[in-house]
Structure 1
Amino acid sequence: MKFLLTSIMLLCCFHSTVSADSFTIGNKKIEVPAPAGFVRVTPEMGDVYRLARSLTDPANDLLAYYIPESDVAAAKAGQIPPLNRTFMLKVNKKLKTAELGTGDFAKLKEGAVQENRKITETLKKQLPDLFDKVNQGISKEFNMDFAMQVSQVVPLDPHYDVPNAMAFSMFVTYNVSAAGEKSDDVVCCTTTFLDADGKVLFLYCYAPQDEISWTQSAGKEWAESVMASNPQPPSGSVEGGGIRKYRGMVKWIIAGVVFLLISVFKGRGSKSA
């Protein structure tokens, strides 16, 4: 009986690790628990899986897309549920083989603070070209005329800053033309980038514009569960390079934000249909 109770207690204590997905990034395996109350999208989820797969990002690889547990049944039935709250996990293509120590990650955070607003303005000018391929992919995948553009991106200062992670939020205004209908909306996103065992992950949490506090708290909880599931990054500088090198990486953290907007729109569109 004592052994049974001990086993149950251990399973409860380590549930997040046991239920985590394992991703091979470079030469390391990184454990990522799903956000609390959310489920990773799988091929059995039909159109939602197809939608996630079509979110082409030229600089980052999509590792996982998460929807609420309450939306899973609808997704498996071939529907696209509202998707008002979603999470996304990405890794930068160039950083997959890199290993960032604590010193390297500190420079990445410094670059994010210095360049956040400047890079956002530069990125806005590049978004039309970045979205062309995505729009074409959505139009082909779902057999419809589809075009999305972002008209405004308002980044906020970082609200969460610990040695191995940093998070900031932003509001994104976008307009969409799909199947002859036009729509404008604003969403909020909290972006967290963290260093897990030397590998940098991008975590995105989306919700309607009036739920920014939820995205911040939910994003923090998810980030902390990921860091707790993996070894600490190596100390000092492993990758090397000056602050200028890491400023360029910040642009692709921000760019990763906009590519989930299509799934947000599709979900809300299905709700109103």
Structure 2
Amino acid sequence: MKLVTRSQWGARAYRTPNGATPYSRPRRGVKLHYLGTPYTDRTHDRCDDYVRQLQAQHMDGNGWSDIGYSFLVCTHGYVYEGRGLKRRNSANGNTTLNEQDYAVCLLVGSSGLVKPTDDQLGGTRDAIEYCREEGPAGDWLGGHRDGYATACPGDAVYAWAQQGAPRPGGTAVEPKPAPATKPRVSVAHLRSAARQDPPAAQGHTTYKAEVLVVERALRAEGLLPADYVDGSFGSKTIGAYARWQRSPAGGGYTGADADGIPGKASLKLLAARRGFTVTD
């Protein structure tokens, strides 16, 4: 994928707190968009100018906290990072729809250039797969008009989405097999491990498999060094979990509520972001 990061295309800083709102659960899939205004193709060295112009329109004209889309794809097949994988988009019509699916905009218009190029279709396919593999997003694929009264993403893009978004010259991509069953962790087991492991001999583990699920999630959040992802809910893991509890994504707890001993509410927030299931 020819990804152009925000720093590479010169994005403005997004406004907080709204521009920093994370998704609260995995996405169902991806919705495709077009610009809804006339668009004329341009040389690639001018595409980043247009993306910056679009961000300014969304922030200064619409009053949004950032460019509305998760990603944008130019006619040359480059994928521009908008709000990206983690921050909720504002392009799908309302908060529920924005939460439900990623928003990927093809730089084609309602007049002028209305049919995507082969390079653009290939780049959009790359973006869809990136959202599915790294998001996470499910296999659902459609257009802005699905569930919202609009002509977006235009007939050409919508027809391609309805075909399964095949790569140019290829065939529609078959849906991926159903994902494996999510790991399950028990609140009671984790609380027991967090109380028993720290004072025990080094290497002691309680409910190791479930602790590893949580440690890997904390590692993915950047809160726990890889050396301590070992299945033991020791002091380092307790400290990392306390940092998760204090974080906005983890509930913003303070004092005794952020003691590093897992509670159901903070654990469910972590599970929603990292793909496991909480029992008890």
Same fold flag (TM > 0.5) = no
Q: Taking CA–CA contacts closer than 8 Å with sequence separation of 6 or more, which of the two structures ends up with the larger relative contact order?
A: 1
Q: Which has the higher strand share?
A: 1
Question: If you compute each CA radius of gyration, which structure gives the higher value, 1 or 2?
Answer: 2
Which one has the bigger helix percentage?
Answer: 1
TM-score normalised per structure 1: 0.22
Question: Structure 2 length as normaliser, TM-score?
Answer: 0.22
